[in-house]
Structure 1
Amino acid sequence: MTVPLTPAQPAGLTVQPVDYAPSVGKRLRQEQFGVAVSGIKDINNLTDEEFATIEELLYKHSVVVFENVDLNPDGQFRLTRQFDPQAHEYGHGAKGRPDNKSILHPDLRTIPGTPVQLIGNGLVTDEHVLQGLKSPTQLKHPSHETFHKTQLSAEESEKGYTRFYRWHIDAALYERDPPKVTTLYGLQMPLGKGNIVRYDDGTGDELEVPLGGTAFVSGKVMFDILPAEYKSLAVRALVKYFPHPYVAIGTAKSRSTGLGMETDGLEVPLDELPPWEEKHVKTFPVCWKNPVTGNLHLQVHPSGIKEIIIDPLPSTTARSPSTLCPDGAHLTDLKEVRDLMYKMQRPGIAPELVYVVDWKPKTLALFHNRGVLHSITGAFQPDEVRAFWQNNLASTDIPLGPSAEDVLRYA
């Protein structure tokens, strides 16, 4: 099955649904969440027609995958920047890991002369992969063992069980605005191995994934499947994030699903964070409006949230016994904030709603960073080499929230 394109589609370009695993349910298949594109002449130098098609596909299908393409870091930067031509700085900034206390610091190495990041695992010696970084460079794949409150046993890991590491949006969530797109290019990785993701939240949910597969869920689906009373809350709500959120949660621990944090009072106190200003603290709508489709995507980075601000119902909207916060609310109790958001987001990461990219060398994935959540999976041995180039750029605008019409429709 091919995916219909605009009438002006470039000659030779073909688009198909991605290769879904058997675990992917009917909902994602009907949504055509994820498409695979072939026939691009030169991924480093797209024609205007090729880019227009890819941009449309990204906003309509959220994840765009290219197999067996030759990409270089400069080309990756150009491609990423085409989605936001005024953007120029890496999404977390040149100093996006303040004082090296951020939980992101161990995971990123900046390719010299570009905002492209090298990520992965193991001792990397390939000069093409390193692009001027010192050889060898040691990389470490993030593990739930250091981030989650509970861990799988060594025996469970040896049997191939793993967890989602952290469901997130690529965004600094302080001072800089969320990138529109992330580009991820696979260079080296172990092949032919798999894991079983365990949710370990009492549901018994599990998901078979390729080793190191990147998991994606749709913010649109996450919103669409909410009960009506939570849709009403979502279109009226804003989320306020911690200052320097990746530092603030650096001493806290994640839930077993990787979807947000446990609340044990382990966060770094505000007065012990790197210097910060209230004007740079980010507050965003819970729902972000897709600029092409007009759909609402539930887009909250659950790890960094601090407060939820809820507007009252519109005066013309009738109340019912099931209406949540009809008079509005400002939730500041951290456990209450996290528990509410978890209740809203957890249905959207059910196994049948997760698409996982099965990486091979020279695979490139673009994802709509304002329309999906994603997570790393898997645990690698120290001698297993995994190397990727990743790029996203702090945006020049802020995400759009629900329109007045959206609020009236769902509230």
Structure 2
Amino acid sequence: MSIGSSIEVTPIPQQPNSRRNLGAVATNLDVNNLSAEDWDVIRNALYEHSVLVLKDQAHATPKAQYELTQRFDPQSENYGHGKTLDAKRSILHPDLKTIPHQPQVQVIGNGFVEEFEGLKNIQLKHPHHKTFHKTAIPEEEDLDFTRFYRWHIDAALYDLQPPRVTSLMAVKVPKGRTQTLRYDDGTGDEMAVPLGTTAFASGYTMYDILSEEDKEFVRTTKVEYAAHPYIWMSGAKSLSTGLGLVSDGLEIPKSDLPPIDESKVLVLPMCWKNPVTGQLALQVHPSAVEKLHLKDGTVIDDLKKVREIVYKLQRPGIAPELVYAHDWEEGDMVLFNNQGVIHSVVGAFAPDEVRIFRQCNLASSAAPEGP
């Protein structure tokens, strides 16, 4: 708590074997009525803890959600994926619906909703790993076991810069069972997760646990992302950990993509700097990577090799004891540092389990700052 603000910030308690260093809860606040002092507390807490859960915000309006998200980057005003969601071939197209009176805020979830924020008769679909992974958990185990769907950064990664912060608002949450999340990668790694959790992993921890040699590599390497990445990857399938794609040559060829403007292709640092603490995060969207630019000018463009390098660097950082799996309650508004964590949808809902969330992120007004 700071002078002039009543907000209480409490780090999320650790499990006994946990090594995770992210997540805090903020209480005693009202997103619709934030003072300048409240804003300072929220901003500092977010950049210190990476994921900040604002409790009891069921009354928060889409406008207040947008305004809070925008305060992290006042020059930004457009939704993080711009108009690219309209592309029917984009793998993101089925997952989002736009709120008419606040177009920077999207509705995501599961099930049929008659009316919500001016949208009528919408069918929401919670993504299931079997639609995206190369292998799937057998049907008879599907209620009890699950996987990370796709580890990612919220970002268009073509033409638009990655949003600084994403806000997720839980409007309606089906309560219920927990599931066992399996990595299914031969390690035996698994963890218990709440149904429909959102999982977060810290890019700062991911960087900190690297060897000195790998730290030097990631500090000096740049990542080139594929043009129109969500259409480009639409034919490919994911690894069982959700951390990147299998290299089976199923990406859409460049000749079949929408026109490519080379000036809009993003080449970003592999490490992004925290604006408050100065820490470095290993921050890569593993499914959208196409090439690596090394400090000596070499470009690695063998896609299979690029993915293997990125996977080796990122996989230790999603170990079960480093992942924060949020147990959603209605009225939770979760802010996360989209330039310091990667996250994944998890779990599977039955068609009649209705879940309604509001999501907001804004394309950044500047590229992420490197080392």
What range describes the TM-score normalised by the shorter chain of this pair? over 0.9
Are residues 1:17 and 2:11 paired?
yes
1:254-301 per-position Cα deviation (integer Å, ceiling 9, x unaligned): 000000000000000011101220000001000001111110000000
Partner SS for 1:249: helix
Q: Distance in 1 between matches of 2:169 and 2:191?
A: 24
Counterpart residue number, 1:143: 128
Instruction: Tell me which stretches of 4 or more aligned residues in structure 1 moved more than 6 Å.
Output: none
Task: Tell whether the 8 Å contact from 2:163 to 2:361 is kept in structure 1 after alignment.
Answer: yes
Partner SS for 2:142: helix
Q: Distance in 1 between matches of 2:321 and 2:299?
A: 34
Are residues 1:54 and 2:42 paired?
yes
Q: Distance in 2 between matches of 1:288 and 1:277?
A: 25
Indicate the percent of aligned positions where both proteins have the same amino acid.
Answer: 52
Amino acid at match of 1:85: P
Q: Distance in 1 between matches of 2:5 and 2:266?
A: 43
Partner SS for 2:231: helix
Partner SS for 1:352: helix
Amino acid at match of 2:134: K
Q: Distance in 1 between matches of 2:303 and 2:76?
A: 33
Amino acid at match of 1:142: P
Are residues 1:81 and 2:65 paired?
no
Are residues 1:199 and 2:183 paired?
yes
Task: Tell whether the 8 Å contact from 1:24 to 1:353 is kept in structure 2 after alignment.
Answer: no
Counterpart residue number, 2:356: 387
Paired positions, count = 369
Q: Distance in 2 between matches of 1:174 and 1:225?
A: 30
267, 270, 273: which one pairs with 2:251? 267
152, 168, 189: which one pairs with 1:168? 152
Partner SS for 1:101: coil
Task: Tell whether the 8 Å contact from 1:23 to 1:351 is kept in structure 2 after alignment.
Answer: no
Task: Tell whether the 8 Å contact from 2:80 to 2:156 is kept in structure 1 after alignment.
Answer: yes
1:332-367 per-position Cα deviation (integer Å, ceiling 9, x unaligned): 000000000000000000000000110011111000
Q: Distance in 2 between matches of 1:9 and 1:284?
A: 38
Closer/same/farther in 2, CA of residues 150 and 290 from structure 1, 3 Å limit = same
Q: Distance in 2 between matches of 1:103 and 1:13?
A: 39
Counterpart residue number, 1:218: 202
Q: Distance in 1 between matches of 2:249 and 2:176?
A: 41
TM-superposed CA distance for 1:15, in Å, is 1.1
Counterpart residue number, 1:118: 107
Task: Tell whether the 8 Å contact from 1:117 to 1:391 is kept in structure 2 after alignment.
Answer: yes
CA RMSD of aligned residues (A): 1.2
Counterpart residue number, 1:71: 60
Amino acid at match of 1:157: D
- Runs (5+) with no aligned partner, structure 1: 313-327, 403-411
TM-superposed CA distance for 1:227, in Å, is 1.2
Q: Distance in 2 between matches of 1:240 and 1:189?
A: 37
TM-superposed CA distance for 1:98, in Å, is 4.9
Task: Tell whether the 8 Å contact from 1:187 to 1:361 is kept in structure 2 after alignment.
Answer: yes
Are residues 1:239 and 2:223 paired?
yes
Q: Distance in 2 between matches of 1:280 and 1:44?
A: 36
Are residues 1:284 and 2:268 paired?
yes
Are residues 1:177 and 2:165 paired?
no
Closer/same/farther in 2, CA of residues 348 and 12 from structure 1, 3 Å limit = same
Amino acid at match of 2:106: Q
Q: Distance in 2 between matches of 1:218 and 1:10?
A: 30
Q: Distance in 2 between matches of 1:13 and 1:149?
A: 45
Q: Distance in 1 between matches of 2:337 and 2:128?
A: 24
Are residues 1:90 and 2:79 paired?
yes
Partner SS for 2:235: coil
Partner SS for 2:342: strand
TM-superposed CA distance for 1:23, in Å, is 6.6
TM-score, normalising length: structure 2: 0.97
Amino acid at match of 1:91: G
TM-score, normalising length: structure 1: 0.88
Q: Distance in 2 between matches of 1:52 and 1:140?
A: 36
Q: Distance in 2 between matches of 1:258 and 1:184?
A: 21
- Runs (5+) with no aligned partner, structure 2: none
Q: Distance in 1 between matches of 2:196 and 2:16?
A: 17
Structure 1 residues 240-259: aligned runs within 5 Å: 240-259=224-243
66, 91, 94: which one pairs with 1:103? 91
Amino acid at match of 2:118: G
> Computing the radius of gyration over CA atoms, which structure comes out larger, 1 or 2?
1
Partner SS for 1:100: coil
